[in-house]
Structure 1
């Protein structure tokens, strides 16, 4: 497989210049004396719920913060510790009240001063337009006085600081509007032009509070095909890349390029469909799927070692303890016994089990913009076939629409940063609790909901970590999800591109220090 991939890249190299004409190249801007950079990105698209850079729109805040347009009150270190950013300091006055002191030297790219009134207005618009943010933050009221913002929550929110660092928390000037999905933020770059699923153009913010950005212009090109992205970087049509297929990495392991890599909580995992019409409504089928996926082989051969097998929801570590929970191991023979005991047998000898006249066919939904998700589907298809399960793969950019039809899928495999706020509560309230915003599989466990209710009001970090362990075990015992691998996230650039750096939270790609020598 790998040699075919490299051959395709070599043959495709001569075609990339034509395919990406107008995308920018190494010589762009040289005649004008400007410093410019073009970055290819497989993930900036509507399929990933990033149709624009408005942080109040779905998950578009990821593009806003990654591309240096927006900033949040707090940020995360690479140890996922909370640090000041647009907020100088804060105080948890009582369980319901938080007082923030904002920086006094920040101006939006619109020219408006960032004060508490502007931040209050931003958050009011956010919670009115983003269901996930409203559910996370639970803001009851806010009070603005100069550079002091007081937030009062409807209930105790121990993780409020963590949530405020989520990309949806980018502080933008609401008065400047949202024309064509563009916003006025506080970051080092200003968005001037955008076309969904195609490109974003940025110019430097000369009045950036953090110092003058080193580049004059940056273009983000949406390139969802891994071969095309690799070819574009080799040819110079782009000078940096995010989301490169791991099997292309050998092409860039030389002194012409730099690779910035860091371990993250981004995980490839599958959620099961509990709808009554789904084969995954059967606990035995869910357990067999969990036992029938070869995580080690996937990481070693298909990810080329750029990750590590997943056990629970989170990686190992004191805050999350993914190494301390008990998950199913790869056990094909054990999976066969589970299915046999549940009445799934191959009576007609075609290799696929059936029960009550129904074939054991699993509809596997995934998408191609994360380059290895289709490979995971192929791997699961092969190993599950060995235990008598037929897997029908639907890898489509239209996955966000397909998943709305509960009869169109049984397993939905996706990539997600499991702890982007540095706190475990985020994942459960997005994917697993009864009211989770992305619980399309209709999973429900009363004990999990009870544990989440406790976590939502628990301020002690050690107790939160213990609750996270218990909550992981609940969903693992139900085989409601199967966690396959955590990823090492990487960004690749020409050797003359400086400070294009990966971070554990998977944000902060474009900063004022990003440069081309």
Structure 2
């Protein structure tokens, strides 16, 4: 689409897309400071224990006991002041004094216990991740016993799914009662969350009087919203619009490396993909550098595995043969031959159903590139658009591949991604991986404390995943955030992508 045409649509799109923002954004109206953040994932529920978009945490409504320090890649206290264990199984967690929920009730041990128990009851992934056997309360002190030796237990409390809420207030979908700097005033599913400052916030009241956390899954519309002034902060603007946005007076664009990887998730329950040579062929077909250059316009790095090379637990991978001829060789080893322009085996053509979703604008484009390259080898790829990938992949097995984006080390450790993705009980094990050797390695990692030993084990697991080609890793995308720097003050683009609307965020 030409820039002239885009500019002509600015006002129209802003009105249609962001009607919820008509109050205005980023200005001081009557002394009330307000900001509007436009996010790329829409949500239809603010229940922090199940919302896969993590909106309550990102919007400053809820908080967790422990948070991640993005710079140091270490966990640090948040609602919990401290935690300790002598045996890696029985934990003592001291809660911060003087914290209240948005309804004025105290956040004490009893409330936190109820919140964690509710999270585990409603989210099996959290139940499996926390592995809590029992919780006892003594005032503002929690005594938690885990199911077996679990030295990495505190890092699991970083998860947005463990956000602490007052469970006696039961409208979790529309108005969860958290402890953050902002309280929900209204929620329009799929459109906007309107927020107001919580004056009794334990870490000092927010500088903003109010805020809006809006949604639009169209990257072009997000860019235009910033350009028109309908939004002050835009998460993941259209990549092609970045040079133009950077030229606009007052607009700042930040491109920050994250803990995220774009991958091609493989359904190991599909017959064709149970052959490692077919998986190697799929992996070889991905022209990673071309995708980085043409689709991401350089705002990414080529991926070899799930973890960026800067992590201590990222292994050095052996060089692989890439390209269509390498893919053809692997398919030949799997018993496939190309006849009349169709790759087939025993008279049956090789076909893939490839899932993708539009809230990350680059993923459908990656799917199209793969479809085009596969076609040259006589492989038919049907692209199917879905809305919520986690829900669809977990509930359906009628697909072969999915373009998927995943945070791999949001807690500064490899254990989260490796367990969630490759352990049989993992919350993100959409591939259906169930490998005895791999599971044994993961179980060993889960009881290893020493950082160096954990890094070596993590390397070994990542190498094993690579050898088996259990998934295919495409690139490490940067987080792109554009904002009106003439208005917005103290914005921080975090690598974890967890912490957005804070009490320090301000406008001129």
Query: Hey, what's the Cα distance between the residues in 1 that align with 2:384 and 2:275?
Result: 21
Cα offset for 1:295?
0.8
**What are the Cα deviations for residues 318-344 of structure 1, in whole angstroms up to 9, with x where unaligned?**
4321x5234745332221111123222
Query: Hey, what's the Cα distance between the residues in 1 that align with 2:215 and 2:347?
Result: 46
Tell me if structure 2 keeps the 8 A contact 1:326–1:476: no
Q: 1:493 aligns to what SS in structure 2?
A: strand
Query: Hey, what's the Cα distance between the residues in 2 that align with 1:483 and 1:268?
Result: 6
- The answer to whether the aligner puts 1:67 opposite 2:59 as a matched pair is yes
- Relative to structure 1, the CA distance from residue 152 to residue 471 in structure 2 (aligned partners, 3 Å threshold; closer, same or farther) is same
Tell me if structure 1 keeps the 8 A contact 2:364–2:403: no
Query: Hey, what's the Cα distance between the residues in 2 that align with 1:313 and 1:239?
Result: 33
- Relative to structure 1, the CA distance from residue 415 to residue 28 in structure 2 (aligned partners, 3 Å threshold; closer, same or farther) is closer
1:418 aligned partner: 408
**What are the Cα deviations for residues 231-286 of structure 1, in whole angstroms up to 9, with x where unaligned?**
1111111111113222221122134212233211111101111224x432332221
What are the residue-to-residue correspondences of 1:258-273 with 2, within 5 Å?
A: 258-273=252-267
Tell me if structure 1 keeps the 8 A contact 2:281–2:330: yes
Q: 1:510 aligns to what SS in structure 2?
A: coil
Query: Hey, what's the Cα distance between the residues in 2 that align with 1:189 and 1:329?
Result: 52
- The answer to whether the aligner puts 1:111 opposite 2:104 as a matched pair is yes
Tell me if structure 2 keeps the 8 A contact 1:90–1:100: yes
Which residue of the other structure, out of 27, 30, 33, is the alignment partner of 1:32? Answer: 30
Tell me if structure 1 keeps the 8 A contact 2:25–2:231: no
1:16 aligned partner: 13
1:48 aligned partner: none
Query: Hey, what's the Cα distance between the residues in 1 that align with 2:5 and 2:84?
Result: 56
Query: Hey, what's the Cα distance between the residues in 1 that align with 2:2 and 2:45?
Result: 31
Which residue of the other structure, out of 464, 470, 475, is the alignment partner of 1:474? Answer: 464
TM-score (norm 1): 0.92
**What are the Cα deviations for residues 189-226 of structure 1, in whole angstroms up to 9, with x where unaligned?**
00121122111111001111111211111112211111
Cα offset for 1:6?
4.0
1:353 aligned partner: 343
Q: 2:259 aligns to what SS in structure 1?
A: strand
2:251 aligned partner: 257
Cα offset for 1:56?
1.4
- Relative to structure 1, the CA distance from residue 149 to residue 5 in structure 2 (aligned partners, 3 Å threshold; closer, same or farther) is farther
Q: 2:338 aligns to what SS in structure 1?
A: coil
2:496 aligned partner: 505
- The answer to whether the aligner puts 1:176 opposite 2:161 as a matched pair is no
Aligned alpha-carbon RMSD (Å) = 2.0
Tell me if structure 1 keeps the 8 A contact 2:20–2:191: no
Larger mean Cα displacement after TM superposition, 302-311 or 417-426? 417-426
Tell me if structure 2 keeps the 8 A contact 1:119–1:171: yes
**What are the Cα deviations for residues 268-307 of structure 1, in whole angstroms up to 9, with x where unaligned?**
101111224x432332221101011011111122111111
Tell me if structure 1 keeps the 8 A contact 2:245–2:251: yes
Q: 2:265 aligns to what SS in structure 1?
A: strand
Larger mean Cα displacement after TM superposition, 298-307 or 142-151? 142-151
Query: Hey, what's the Cα distance between the residues in 1 that align with 2:300 and 2:462?
Result: 21
What are the residue-to-residue correspondences of 1:41-440 with 2, within 5 Å?
A: 41-45=39-43, 51-59=44-52, 62-78=54-70, 79-254=72-247, 255-276=249-270, 278-321=271-314, 323-326=315-318, 328-348=320-340, 350=341, 352-397=342-387, 399-400=389-390, 402-404=392-394, 408-440=398-430
Query: Hey, what's the Cα distance between the residues in 2 that align with 1:492 and 1:424?
Result: 30
Query: Hey, what's the Cα distance between the residues in 2 that align with 1:33 and 1:221?
Result: 22
Query: Hey, what's the Cα distance between the residues in 2 that align with 1:327 and 1:424?
Result: 22
User: Where do 5+ consecutive residues of structure 2 fail to align?
Assistant: none
Tell me if structure 1 keeps the 8 A contact 2:355–2:399: yes
